[in-house]
Amino acid sequence: MYQNIVFCGLLFSPLVIFLPAAFALTALTRFILFRLNLHQRIWKVAWFEVSLFVCYLALIIFLSHGAIH
């Protein structure tokens, strides 16, 4: 189980760290796809980006869970 992060007496969920990390990976992937002009091959770009974000978030949580134990 993940522990809350305490900062100046306030409790934060571990998602405060996980969400920006997943967003950064998604933004990096999006930048690379647009730079290589591969985004045109994707049928629904918005759905792809949302699903990519969810997959990155799940991967970060999975990997951090292994690092905690």
User: In this predicted structure, what is the pLDDT of residue 7?
Assistant: 86
Q: How far is Cα 62 from Cα 57, in angstroms, rounded to an integer?
A: 9
Give the model confidence (pLDDT) of 37-59 as tens digits: 988 888 899 999 999 999 999 99
Q: Write out the residue range of the structural domain in which residue 60 sits.
A: 5-68
Question: Which token pair is 56?
Answer: 């990155």
User: In this predicted structure, what is the pLDDT of residue 48?
Assistant: 95
The phi, psi pair for 36, rounded to 5°, reads -85, 0
Residues in the chain: 69
DSSP state of 7: E
- DSSP E strands: which ranges in the chain? 5-7, 10-12
pTM of the predicted model as reported, rounded to 2 decimal places: 0.83
